[in-house]
Structure 1
Amino acid sequence: MGLHRWWQVTLVIVCLFSSSLVEGLKTYSDRKSLDSFLRMQANEEIKNPKTGVLYNVSLPSNLTGMEVSVVRLRSFSLWSRGMNYSFFNLPPRIMSRPSQKRITILYENLGNCSSHYYNVPNHTMVAPVFGVMAYSSSESALVDEKINFTIHGDPIKIWFPLADERGRNHTPLCAKFTDNGLVKFKNMTKPYVCEVHRQGHYTLVIPSFPFPDELHTHSHGRRFTTWWVLGFAIGFIGLVVLGLILLALVMEVKKRKIRKMEKNSAGEELFDTFWIGETKLPLASSIRTQPILEN
C-alpha cells in the first residue's frame, strides 16, 4: 500500500473518531432538546416495532444513568386493559386525545441526570424524575407527534425509589413539572406513590428549609451546650476558691501552733526564732563563760 493510500486510511479513521467524540460530548442543555433527542433516538434505533412489545432505547455515554423505554399500543388495548411497566401503572379507560389508532408510550427515568434538567425552587428532590409521555404512532415512525391523555377511570400511579435518605425522615410531596416551567404540588396517596391524571414529568420533593422539629432540636442542642460550658466554668472557679480558703486555714492553724509553742517554752522565756523551710523554730542564744587568766 502506497504512502498516499495510508494517508487516506488515516484521514478516514481520524474523521470517524472525531465524529464519535463530538457525539459523545454533545449535550442536551434543556428539556425540549432532550425530549427531541429521545424521540429521534427511539425512531432511529427501533425499526419495524411490534405492537405491545416494550423496547429499551440506547443512550450515549453523557446520558449514563438515564433509562428510556417505549411501547406501541393499540388505543383499544390501552382503553380496555391499561399498561403496567416497572414503576408505572396505567389503568384501563385511558383515551388518547385526539383519537389515534395506535399510540406510543415513552417511559423516562432521568436518574442522576434529573437535577440537570429539573429543579424545584426552595425544595430538594429526593427521588429521580420520571416521565410518562404519549405520542401518535404511524407506519413510518414509532414516535411521532405528542398527544394527550384523557383518563375516565382510576389515575395513573407512579412508584418512586428514593434517591435521598432525607425522604424517609420527612413526608415528601409529589411535584409535577408543567410545560410552562411551573411546578404543582400534591400529597402522596401511599408512601412514595403519586397519582396523576396527565402525562408529564414527576418527582418527590421536600422543603429545603429546616423543619420545625429540626429547629427545635438544634435550638435545644445549642442551649444544652451553653449551659454545660457555663456550669463547667462556675464549678472550676468554685473549686479554685475553695482550695484557696482551705490553704489559708491550714496556714493559720500552723501559725497558731507555733505561737503556742513559743509561749509554753521553758520559763516562759522567749527565744529567738529561725526558719527551716516554712517551719519557724525557737533558737536559744549561746552564752560563753569568760576565761580567767592565772598567774
Structure 2
Amino acid sequence: MISFPSFCIIILTFLYPFETFSLQPITQQEATFSSRFLDSVLQDYAFRSFSGHRKKTGVIYDGIVPANVTGTTISALRLRSGSLRRRGYFNYKEFDIPSGILVNPYVKRVILVYHNLGNWSNVFYPLPGFVYLSPVVGLLGYNAANLTGKGLPELDIRSSENPILIKFETLSVLPNGVLPKCVFFDLFGGVAFDHVENGSVCTSVTQGHFGIVVEKTSPPPVVAPVPAPEKSHGSEYPIAGGNGGGGGGGGGGVRKKWLWIGGSVAGGAVVAAAMVVLVVAVRRVVGRKRIAEMRGVAESGDPLAVAAVGRAKVPVAMGTRTKPILESEYVS
C-alpha cells in the first residue's frame, strides 16, 4: 500500500504544474512504490524537449529532468511506425533497435522515451541481495499524436524478429569469481534475469528497464583472536632492580628467562650426543655381524691340501679325480 505522504505527492503533482510545485526529496520507501509515477513524470519532461524545435523525425532530443531527481537523464526520439518496423533504429544511447518492431495499438508515429536513472537506480528499482554494475536504463514507447499530453499510457513495443540489444559502455569493477546477470523490469512489476552477452550486452524482445547486477557475496567468517595471557607485573620483559640484590620481581623474571634458555641449550646438546652414540653402536653391531657371516662362509667350504715348499707351507690343489684318456685309446 502506498503511504499517505506518497499519495499526497502524487495528487498534488497532477493538480499543479511542475513549475509551481517543487517535489520534496523522495525517500527509498516512497520511491519503491513510485517507479511508475516516475515514468509518467519523465514522459512529460521528455516530451517538453520537442518545444522550441522544428519537430524532426529520427532526431534524438535530450530533455531536462526535475531537480528532485538530479542525476538521471532522459531523451526522446520520434519515428514513423512503418519506418521503425522496416529499418529499426541503431545507437539510440545504449539501445540497438532492430527491424521487425511491432507497435500495439498501431499509431502513425511513435515517441521512444529513454531513461538513465544513474545513482537513483537502486532507489527506484531496489534488488535485495544484488549489487548494480551498471545504471538502470529504460525504453518506453508513446503515441506521438499529442506532444503536450501528460500521464500518457505506454504502447506495447515488441520485437518480432531479432531482439533489442542493450549495450552498456561502462561497468563497475566485477568481483572475482562472480558472474554478472542482466535484470529486466517490465511495466507490471515483474523482474526477470538473463545471461550477459559479450561481457556487457543484454537482450530483450520488449520495452522496459534494464541493468547488469551481481549477487552479493557473504564475507568470510571472522576468526576470533586468541586471548593473550595475562601479565602479572604489567611489563612483558620487566627490568631488574638497580641495586642488584635480586629481591625485586623484575630480576626474578629475567633470571627465569635465562635459566629456560640455558636448559633448552643443554637439553639439545644431550640429545645430539645420544644420537651420535647410538649411530656408532649401530655401525659396530652391523660390522660385527657381517664379519661373522664371512667367517661362516669361509669355514663351510672344502679345505685345501697343504704342501711344504721350502720352509713355507702353501695350499695346493688336490689331484684330478678323473683319469685322463688319450685319443688313441678310443680307437679299437
Of stretches 156-165 and 80-89 in structure 1, the one that deviates more from structure 2 is 156-165
User: Which residue number in structure 2 is paired with residue 78 of structure 1?
Assistant: 84
CA distance in 2, matches of 1:177, 1:36: 16
Read off the aligned partner of 2:22 and give its amino acid letter: E
Residue in structure 1 matching 2:186, options 157, 160, 178? 178
Residue in structure 1 matching 2:166, options 143, 158, 163? 158
> 1:151–1:21: structure 2 CA closer, same or farther, 3 Å change rule?
closer
Given that 1:119 and 1:125 are in contact with CA atoms closer than 8 Å, whether structure 2 keeps it comes out as no
User: Which residue number in structure 2 is paired with residue 262 of structure 1?
Assistant: none
Read off the aligned partner of 2:123 and give its amino acid letter: H
Given that 2:105 and 2:155 are in contact with CA atoms closer than 8 Å, whether structure 1 keeps it comes out as yes
User: Which residue number in structure 2 is paired with residue 189 of structure 1?
Assistant: 197
Q: Give the CA deviation at 1:194.
A: 0.2
Alignment RMSD: 3.3
Given that 1:104 and 1:142 are in contact with CA atoms closer than 8 Å, whether structure 2 keeps it comes out as no
Larger helix share, 1 or 2: 1
SS in 2 for 1:146: coil
User: Which residue number in structure 1 is paired with residue 40 of structure 2?
Assistant: 36
Read off the aligned partner of 2:72 and give its amino acid letter: M
Provide, for residues 168-219 of structure 1, a one-character-per-residue CA deviation record: whole Å limited to 9, x for no partner: 7632101111334332111112211001111000111111134xxxx7xx57
User: Which residue number in structure 2 is paired with residue 66 of structure 1?
Assistant: 72
* 1:213-252 map, 5 Å: 218=220, 243-245=261-263
Q: Give the CA deviation at 1:97.
A: 1.1
User: Which residue number in structure 2 is paired with residue 132 of structure 1?
Assistant: 139
Given that 2:81 and 2:103 are in contact with CA atoms closer than 8 Å, whether structure 1 keeps it comes out as yes
TM-score (ref. length: structure 2): 0.56
| Gap regions ≥5 residues in structure 2 | 1-17, 229-256, 268-332
Provide, for residues 211-254 of structure 1, a one-character-per-residue CA deviation record: whole Å limited to 9, x for no partner: xxxx7xx57x96xx99xx9xxxxxxxxx98861405878xxxxx
CA distance in 2, matches of 1:36, 1:139: 15
SS in 1 for 2:161: coil
Is 1:146 aligned with 2:146? no
CA distance in 1, matches of 2:258, 2:114: 74
> 1:123–1:20: structure 2 CA closer, same or farther, 3 Å change rule?
same
Given that 1:127 and 1:203 are in contact with CA atoms closer than 8 Å, whether structure 2 keeps it comes out as yes
Read off the aligned partner of 1:79 and give its amino acid letter: R
User: Which residue number in structure 2 is paired with residue 50 of structure 1?
Assistant: 56
User: Which residue number in structure 1 is paired with residue 96 of structure 2?
Assistant: 89
CA distance in 2, matches of 1:162, 1:59: 22
> 1:191–1:166: structure 2 CA closer, same or farther, 3 Å change rule?
closer
Given that 2:182 and 2:213 are in contact with CA atoms closer than 8 Å, whether structure 1 keeps it comes out as yes
User: Which residue number in structure 2 is paired with residue 257 of structure 1?
Assistant: none
* 1:256-275 map, 5 Å: none
Read off the aligned partner of 2:165 and give its amino acid letter: K
Of stretches 94-103 and 154-163 in structure 1, the one that deviates more from structure 2 is 154-163
Aligned residues: 212
> 1:36–1:77: structure 2 CA closer, same or farther, 3 Å change rule?
same
SS in 2 for 1:166: coil
User: Which residue number in structure 2 is paired with residue 23 of structure 1?
Assistant: 22
TM-score (ref. length: structure 1): 0.62
> 1:207–1:99: structure 2 CA closer, same or farther, 3 Å change rule?
same
Given that 2:102 and 2:158 are in contact with CA atoms closer than 8 Å, whether structure 1 keeps it comes out as yes
> 1:26–1:168: structure 2 CA closer, same or farther, 3 Å change rule?
same
CA distance in 2, matches of 1:91, 1:241: 87
CA distance in 2, matches of 1:240, 1:181: 76
Is 1:120 aligned with 2:120? no
| Gap regions ≥5 residues in structure 1 | 1-18, 230-238, 250-295
> 1:56–1:43: structure 2 CA closer, same or farther, 3 Å change rule?
same
Q: Give the CA deviation at 1:46.
A: 2.3
Read off the aligned partner of 2:108 and give its amino acid letter: K
Q: What is the identity percentage for the equivalent residue pairs of Structure 1 and Structure 2?
A: 28
